């Protein structure tokens, strides 16, 4: 929605500039400023959408690493990994996932975030405690 608001303001600036002619700097400035904003927004979207496969792969590896630590019980042995570290990693994963799921559905900024986070699952804290 925010992107389309930027585009609408840019178009309004162009229309004001065309209607009032060269003596009006307001329409020209409006079109120029929001043209730059639309350009930056497009660059951000291109970067986010062109790297979405890499983001999915990165999140898969992160999730697999945390769940491996939980399922193997590696933190119960002498590997300098404590239960609190694993819980912190799981909490950070869940917080990041919850924020990204909400942002990709957000009315105002959702267009900037690819819809890739629905395929990921939250890590259940009880699995950390039960795997000891």
CA distance 68 to 39: 42
Q: Is 121 helix (H, G, I), strand (E, B) or coil?
A: coil
In this prediction the pTM is 0.80
Asked which of 50-54, 74-78, 122-126 is least confident by mean pLDDT, the reply is: 74-78
Secondary structure (3-state) at 93: helix
Read off the pLDDT of residues 13-28 as tens digits, 9 standing for 90 and up.
Answer: 999 888 887 677 888 8
Question: Which of 114, 128, 123 minimizes the C-alpha distance to 52?
Answer: 114
């Amino acid at each position: 929605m925010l992107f389309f608001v930027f585009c609408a303001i840019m178009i309004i600036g162009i229309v004001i500039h065309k209607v009032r002619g060269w003596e009006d700097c307001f329409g020209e400035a409006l079109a120029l400023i929001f043209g730059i904003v639309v350009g930056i927004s497009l660059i951000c979207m291109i970067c986010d959408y062109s790297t979405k496969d890499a983001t999915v792969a990165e999140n898969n590896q992160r999730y697999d690493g945390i769940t491996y630590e939980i399922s193997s019980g590696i933190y119960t042995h002498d590997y300098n990994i404590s239960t609190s570290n694993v819980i912190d990693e799981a909490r950070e994963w869940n917080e990041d996932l919850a924020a990204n799921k909400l942002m990709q559905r957000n009315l105002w900024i959702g267009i900037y975030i690819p819809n890739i986070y629905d395929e990921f699952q939250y890590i259940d804290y009880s699995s950390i405690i039960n795997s000891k």
